[in-house]
Amino acid sequence: MRTRGISIERMVGELNEYIRGWWSYFSLCEARTCLKDLNAWVIRRLRAVIWKQWKLPRTKVRELIKRGIPEYWAVLVGTTRKGAWRLSRNTTVAKALPVSYFTRTLGLVLPG
């Protein structure tokens, strides 16, 4: 997903096709807890993709500040050497890129 060089909007559109098809097939089962875990994983993966797309530390800091994170925390998190997957669980990144950003703004469909 990360190395395809497409926009996040297009990526979410393609992901929606898979999720809708998957949900249509498995909607009859009683696996609500699995869906919750899957939804959390998808959101975390998309956060990691966006973090990776921002590339430079100054871009990360600028984007975090633009999304309402205080400058101190934006600099602290934006300049860290930790990887995208690890930072996708960070509370600062989660506040900057909440679930509502993916569902309302980008139109991500989450089953369950």
- The Cα 96–Cα 110 span in angstroms is 19
Three-state DSSP at 28 gives coil
pLDDT of residue 29: 73
pLDDT (tens, 9 = 90+) of the chain, 112 residues, equals 556 788 999 999 999 998 888 887 777 776 666 777 888 999 999 999 999 999 999 999 999 999 999 999 999 999 999 999 999 999 999 999 999 999 999 999 988 7
Q: Radius of gyration of the chain from Cα atoms?
A: 15
What is the Cα–Cα distance from 66 to 11, expressed in whole angstroms? Answer: 22
The confidence score (pLDDT) of residue 23 equals 80
Return mean pLDDT, the chain.
Answer: 90
Distance CA 34, CA 90 (A): 22
Please give the pLDDT value at position 44: 96
Is 98:71 a contact under the CB 8 Å cutoff?
no
